[in-house]
Chain A
């Protein structure tokens, strides 16, 4: 899907480019904004490449160095992302428990499990957080499979 869209975009960008117009190595054609595609050509890309083969090879031979330069720049754009915060967070763990949480939330019904919140065990666990007491820091809810532990309100 994404690849398909990227290909379409690539195609339209290729159409926009007048390959012969790029005489100078400093100008980067937008095509090279997608270096990953170059590494894994799909049939569509193959066709595009065939169609444009002559013009492309002409361009590359005019300007062999620019291919290397451009590719390097783009690789660094992809992997040393400017948004440092999200790279740090992604580095911490690949797991996304929030996704599972969305599923649970979506399939939960009403106030089921509300009774637990009224127990003295829960209250003492919950209010303990305000006093900073070390007692009852852990609340363990146990039961057989399917009794609804995951879905406690």
Chain B
């Protein structure tokens, strides 16, 4: 998805920023780090670092040991960069984000959309966070259920079988059985 957006968006000079949540990294994936990472990608695509960001950076350096960026500042700068340039934000596995952080992250994204309604946010996650998304973004969110499609499963199996490192163990009847049985089982998921 991200690559597709990058390919298509490249033509219209759009920015694409992504983030992947992970249960194992819940602690590090705080709202400040996550939004900071999105801003980092947005700024990385610009020719020049915005003046506001450079000034904030210089100011914090005066404090002994330096200070990390603040969420409010990051959100403000994301609002600015995303209103100047079409921006896509892709967030994977939002359900793996710590619940307390998730509220703040959704709220920050919503604030960005308030200022820059053209920004597109793509989110994936398990169904149980759907009400939370609906509440936060109100009328702004649309949901699509993702389930494995038979053709996709067969494409996937064929590719993996083709890459098999022990092809001698395979014969046509086993291959046919795999291509029949696995898609059947998955469609019952």
Contact = CB atoms under 8 A, between A and B. Distances in A.
Interface in A97-133: 97-98, 100-101, 104-105, 109-113, 115-117, 119, 121-122, 124-126, 128-133
Interface of A: prevailing SS: mixed
Interface residues of B, number: 70
Given A88-B53, A133-B117, A121 B142 contact: yes
A140 to B, nearest CB: 5
Interface in B27-52: 28-29, 32-37, 39-41, 43-44, 49
B185 interface: no
B147 interface: yes
Given A137-B117, A150-B92, A142 B126 contact: yes
A131 to B, nearest CB: 8
Interface of B: 1-4, 12, 14, 18-20, 22, 28-29, 32-37, 39-41, 43-44, 49, 53-54, 57, 60, 66, 68-69, 74, 86, 88, 92-93, 109, 113, 117-127, 129-130, 133, 137, 139-149, 152, 155-156, 159-160, 189
